[in-house]
Amino acid sequence: MPDELHTVEILPSQKKATVPRGSLLLDAAAKAGMVIDTPCGGQGRCGRCLVKVTQGQVIDPESPRLTPQQRADGWVLSCTARVGGDVSFVIPAQRERELIVVETATTRTAVPVQCDWPFYPTVRQFYAELPPPSLDSNAADLDRLQAYVAEKQGLTKLTVSPTLLPRLAATLREANWKVTLTVILEGGDQQARLIDISPGRKTGAIYAAAVDIGTTNVVIELVDLHQGKALGRVSSLNTQRSCGEDVISRIIYSERGNGLETLHRLVLETINGLLQEVAAQYKFETRDIHQMAVAGNTTMIHFFWGLPATYLRKEPYTPTATFFPEVPASHLGINMNPNGPVYCLPAVAAYVGGDITAGVLSSCLFKSNKLTLFLDMGTNGEIVLGNSEWMTTCACSAGPAFEGGGVRDGMRAIDGAIEEIRINSKTLEPTLGVIGGVPPQGICGSGMITGLAEMLITGVISRSGRMNLALPDTYPGRARIRPGEHGTEYVLAWASESGTGHDIVLTEVDIDNLIRTKAAIYAGIAVMARNLGIPLNSIEEVLIGGAFGKHINIEAAIQIGLLPDLPWDKYRFLGNTSVWGAYNVLFSKYARQQVEESARKMTYFELIADASFMDELTAASFLPHTNDALFPSVKAILK
């Protein structure tokens, strides 16, 4: 009976309206004077119009956007659920809605990487009261020290960093033989090297730094090896960016004049700057940082060491080393305890570096029983496929787009970055989610992915990424599509709404770069899986690490063809797995043993040597893909 009328009550305001059976809850609410925002235009795509039914009947088409638990609790999308009887429902406050949406199936929030390694740091610090020498006992200072630690700490063999010797006598005497010793365990548990001696009793944190040298960003996690916990994180752009956006252009830069020295100096300046920043923030001296573990791609580690990178670029792509010796910080010029050891996580090959072995470690892929795909989406995209028994890996040059490079208004995932974009299909007007809730200053990787997906689905761009200038002016948002300096562009935020004073746009050139980036990653996955004879749909778990901020929208990433069209619940987003790998290595010597074992175990697959890669790349340079049979869920939406 289409004419049957029902009463709808909106809570908590208790506003009421009478509407015909079958009305959308959204329209019923509007009739009662309550407007619910529908950023996607009421197509059930964004999940932002959630309401909670407390009483009565609704006709609710099942939406993958809600978890079974949420549906059981009465949550429905008001743009798809219809009145099926007298009904009461709650419209939650905007903020509460946002929180619920973030928890739903499509968006993957970075989950903290759990490290269940036994806490076993190699840096140890202890207080010592040495018996002062006398005529009866006038053994050398160092002998005295060695005898003490052998007796009290069971360290039968203590060596000393040579730089400590000149001040040893003075330090011991000035401190009245009461000192705090910092040692690093070497070899077995009875061997150690003295790396610091300071007067008096030092308590509190033993600082160490886990470093991720990304091509675009450098991140340092400050670690306390006394309590075994991460204290906080600082990050900055890699200042090497002025010498080229990606590893290849940096290597080319390194080959000119004193280019290599410049790159070496820049990365050290970046790291030293961050160490200073974190030390100031936590109020200690940088020389109290006693240990450092560094994860980075092979090129970054070569520059960190100041090694020539030319042979990484030239066939057959050979690094100087994949396993690097552990050296005192002074050897590399790092602003920390000069005797503190600096360890670089091992690489596998020229384009699969310590950032990836770090990821395999921190994501626990190395012990997974599931067929797992691990993706590190940085400027260089790396892929690992395998499980506890075998692992293959490859790398593809994705470009810096997702990290904000090569995109006009691209930026890192910090306050002011647009991290989510919804476009209303009826008006073509965008709704933006901005980190920190401030006026937008640019777009970060997650924002680009959702933006591209929304533009595709609403027809703002074609499947080749061209703006559709043929859209009629009847759409209020049509004015946002306009010719610009870099081809046609779509205005996400007008100058008056932005935090920069100029319009924030996505241009066709940006979109080309994004498509190239996503195509490289997808093609890499496709070619490697095919070579292993593994159909993509047999992958049981996909772990994502890399350049995205706090979360990644899996649905949008599938819609643009960045990720394979697998059920959303197979995806887990881990955030920066590289820095977590470095952290694990500091946290436990067993983790360090594991990362070295994993690095030896991984089989490297050279994409460039595969004739089908270019073909796959062109096929993937389309939205979502030239072969849309690979993306059934997207095909269904685009129809």
Residues that bind other proteins (CB under 8 A): 462-464, 466, 469-470, 615, 618-619, 621-622, 626-628
Q: Do residues 250 and 244 make contact, with C-beta atoms less than 8 angstroms apart?
A: yes
Q: Do residues 362 and 592 make contact, with C-beta atoms less than 8 angstroms apart?
A: no
**Beta pairing class for 207-213 and 289-296:** parallel
**Beta pairing class for 372-377 and 391-397:** unpaired
Give the Cβ contact number of residue 85 at 10 Å: 14
Which residues contact residue 131 at a Cβ distance below 8 angstroms, ignoring those fewer than 6 apart? 137, 144, 148, 177
Angle subtended by helix axes 354-362 and 589-601, to nearest 10: 120
CA separation for the pair 558, 567 (Å, rounded): 10
Which of residues 187 and 472 has its CB atom nearest to other proteins in the complex?
Answer: 472
Residue length of the chain: 639
Nearest to 430 by CA among 492, 387, 369, 490: 492
CB of 458 to other proteins, least distance (A): 14
What is 548-592 written as a DSSP string?
--SEEEHHHHHHTTSS----GGGEEEEE-HHHHHHHHHHHBHHHH
CB of 463 to other proteins, least distance (A): 6
Which of residues 67 and 626 has its CB atom nearest to other proteins in the complex?
Answer: 626
CB of 626 to other proteins, least distance (A): 5
Which of residues 1 and 636 has its CB atom nearest to other proteins in the complex?
Answer: 636
Angle subtended by helix axes 298-305 and 247-254, to nearest 10: 30
Which of residues 54 and 618 has its CB atom nearest to other proteins in the complex?
Answer: 618
Which of residues 242 and 464 has its CB atom nearest to other proteins in the complex?
Answer: 464
Which of residues 23 and 488 has its CB atom nearest to other proteins in the complex?
Answer: 488
CB of 462 to other proteins, least distance (A): 6
Which of residues 362 and 621 has its CB atom nearest to other proteins in the complex?
Answer: 621
CB of 537 to other proteins, least distance (A): 20
CB of 488 to other proteins, least distance (A): 12
Which of residues 522 and 548 has its CB atom nearest to other proteins in the complex?
Answer: 522
Angle subtended by helix axes 165-174 and 141-153, to nearest 10: 70
Q: Do residues 192 and 226 make contact, with C-beta atoms less than 8 angstroms apart?
A: no
Which of residues 111 and 469 has its CB atom nearest to other proteins in the complex?
Answer: 469
Which of residues 320 and 626 has its CB atom nearest to other proteins in the complex?
Answer: 626
Q: What are phi and psi of 539, to 5 degrees?
A: -70, 130
Which tokens hold the place of 303? 């520059």
Which of residues 176 and 618 has its CB atom nearest to other proteins in the complex?
Answer: 618
The SS3 call for residue 175 is coil
CB of 618 to other proteins, least distance (A): 4
CB of 617 to other proteins, least distance (A): 9
CB of 622 to other proteins, least distance (A): 5
CA separation for the pair 235, 291 (Å, rounded): 18
Q: Do residues 81 and 59 make contact, with C-beta atoms less than 8 angstroms apart?
A: yes
Q: Do residues 265 and 239 make contact, with C-beta atoms less than 8 angstroms apart?
A: no
Give the Cβ contact number of residue 55 at 10 Å: 12
Which of residues 565 and 628 has its CB atom nearest to other proteins in the complex?
Answer: 628
What is 122-143 written as a DSSP string?
SEEEEEEEPPPP-SS----HHH
- 111 DSSP 8-state letter: P
Nearest to 301 by CA among 258, 262, 354: 354
Which tokens hold the place of 571? 């995806």
CB of 441 to other proteins, least distance (A): 33
Which of residues 18 and 627 has its CB atom nearest to other proteins in the complex?
Answer: 627
Between CA 411 and CA 417, with CA 416 as vertex, the angle to 5 degrees is 40
Give the Cβ contact number of residue 618 at 10 Å: 12
Angstrom distances, CA of residue 243 to CA of 21, 190, 255, 384, 397: 65, 46, 11, 29, 17
Nearest to 171 by CA among 125, 128, 122: 128
CB of 528 to other proteins, least distance (A): 19
Which of residues 9 and 512 has its CB atom nearest to other proteins in the complex?
Answer: 512
CB of 364 to other proteins, least distance (A): 37
75 forms bridges with which residues in the sheet? 52
Which residues contact residue 66 at a Cβ distance below 8 angstroms, ignoring those fewer than 6 apart? 47, 50, 75, 76, 77, 104, 105
Which residues contact residue 157 at a Cβ distance below 8 angstroms, ignoring those fewer than 6 apart? 190, 191, 192
Location of structure tokens 């190395």:
366
CB of 616 to other proteins, least distance (A): 9
Which of residues 330 and 462 has its CB atom nearest to other proteins in the complex?
Answer: 462
CB of 615 to other proteins, least distance (A): 7
What are the E-state strand segments in 403-453? 417-423, 430-434, 442-443
Which of residues 13 and 618 has its CB atom nearest to other proteins in the complex?
Answer: 618
CB of 557 to other proteins, least distance (A): 21
Q: Do residues 366 and 577 make contact, with C-beta atoms less than 8 angstroms apart?
A: no
CB of 466 to other proteins, least distance (A): 8
